[in-house]
Amino acid sequence: MKQDDRNRRQEEQTSPAGMSDVETALKELRNKIDAVDEAVVELLAERQKVVDRVVALKKAHNLPVRHPAREEDLISKRRQQGAASELDPDFIEDIYRTIIRRSRVEQASSMAGKSVRPGAKVLIVGGEGRMGRYFRRCFVDADYEVRSLDRNDWWDVDRLCREIDLAILSVPIEQTEAIAVRLGPHLPAEAVLSDMTSLKAMPLAAMMTAHSGPVVGLHPLFGPTTSTLDKQIIVAAPGRRSSDCQWLLDQFISWGAIVMTADAREHDEIMDIVQALRHFATFAFGRFLSQKQIRLSRSLEFSSPIYRLELGMVGRLFAQDPSLYCEIILASSQRRALLKDYVASMNENLEMIEKGDKTRFQEEFMKIADWFGAFSDQAMRESTYLINKLIERF
């Protein structure tokens, strides 16, 4: 009898009637989820309508797109609300950072059509290059009158420079000094002269010698494939008559960029590390993998997310223009001296490797960890975030 009872209970649990009850309950719950999802989308649409009104106000009063304090305050409040509602605050922050970025991009796109100096005329020297074309579009979209002077246009330089308010040199680093000298005599006295190179001391000095009017050095820390200027950094190195150059910086800010002011020499010293050394180290790693004929696809099958991320950054370098990175890495004798020091530092590790000296390795490791200090914890948090995003994607 006990066996018969067990069989009957099993039949009841797997009977069509029993499964139908579960499916009915699931359907009701899924319908509720769908209704909530629809309400979320409708609320996002309502939020966007309010954002559009904010954009109109900012556009009318030339206010910047980004308001960092407001953004962080909003995130903090939503994290607290999430915790109070028994939701993971990190999850809530991820959602709202996505929403806020989308909002900024929408605002930047709308503000792209807003000129902070209506009627101004802009000349881009090297306007047919990739960065030149990028900024031509930016200024054209903002309703400036934009002219381009490229290598075959010098015969028309007087007309192209007539009554311009801004000239931007978007040319290779090694040509900047000569181009500034060549352009200077044709510029109106009150025109702003600027450049877009990744070195600042030499170009800035050359521009100030060539032109007696307002001068500012610029370095956009992004490339021409950037889809939006939202939170992109542009370094501004003051040259002469900074107040007369401010409208140009305000224009970048209105497009969503972050403009950071720095002395030209300080900029170059930092860029030696941030750009030249980092790109050279990446080049050297990629070169070594190539020499060893490492099977990349096979190595990725065994890789952790952090290795995939690191290898992705190496592959990204070699997917781009070699002449661009050649200019950046080998741009100055100062940079080349730094890279020689880096190679010499690498050679200092040979003895430790040859002896398999684990004690020395750990000692060196701890010294470096002490030097990095609190940044190591920050780096761990940020890299963990990137790794998790990579896992979600791939």
Two structure tokens written together for 361 = 């390795």
Where in the chain are all domains bearing CATH 1.20.59.10? 2-111
SS3 169: strand
Q: What are phi and psi of 263, to 5 degrees?
A: -60, 145
Give the residue from 219, 175, 177 showing the smallest Cα distance to 196.
Answer: 219
Cβ neighbors of 214 (< 8 A, separation 6 or more) are: 190, 191, 192, 193, 239, 240, 241, 242, 244, 245
- Give the pLDDT confidence of 221-265 residue by residue, as tens digits: 988 888 778 788 999 999 999 999 999 999 998 888 889 999 999
Average pLDDT estimate for 93-103: 84
| Contact indicator for 230, 101 with CB cutoff of 8 Å | yes
Using pLDDT thresholds of 50, 70 and 90, give the confidence band for residue 135: very high
Using pLDDT thresholds of 50, 70 and 90, give the confidence band for residue 327: confident
The answer, yes or no, to whether residue 357 has pLDDT greater than 90, is yes
| Contact indicator for 200, 169 with CB cutoff of 8 Å | no
Using pLDDT thresholds of 50, 70 and 90, give the confidence band for residue 166: very high
pLDDT at 245: 97
Cα distance from N-terminal residue to C-terminal residue, the chain = 55
Q: How far apart are CA 170 and CA 221, in angstroms?
A: 14
> Sign of dihedral through CA atoms 380, 381, 384, 386?
negative
> Sign of dihedral through CA atoms 110, 198, 278, 295?
positive
pLDDT at 111: 59
Which CATH number is associated with domain 121-262?
Answer: 3.40.50.720
- Give the pLDDT confidence of 68-95 residue by residue, as tens digits: 777 788 888 888 998 999 988 888 888 8
Using pLDDT thresholds of 50, 70 and 90, give the confidence band for residue 7: low
Where in the chain are all domains bearing CATH 3.40.50.720? 121-262
Least confident of 85-89, 153-157, 213-217, 384-388: 384-388
Look at the domain 2-111 and name its fold. Answer: Chorismate Mutase Domain, subunit A (1.20.59)
pTM of the model: 0.72
pLDDT at 382: 82
What CATH architecture applies to the domain 267-393?
Orthogonal Bundle (1.10)
Q: How far apart are CA 43 and CA 96, in angstroms?
A: 13
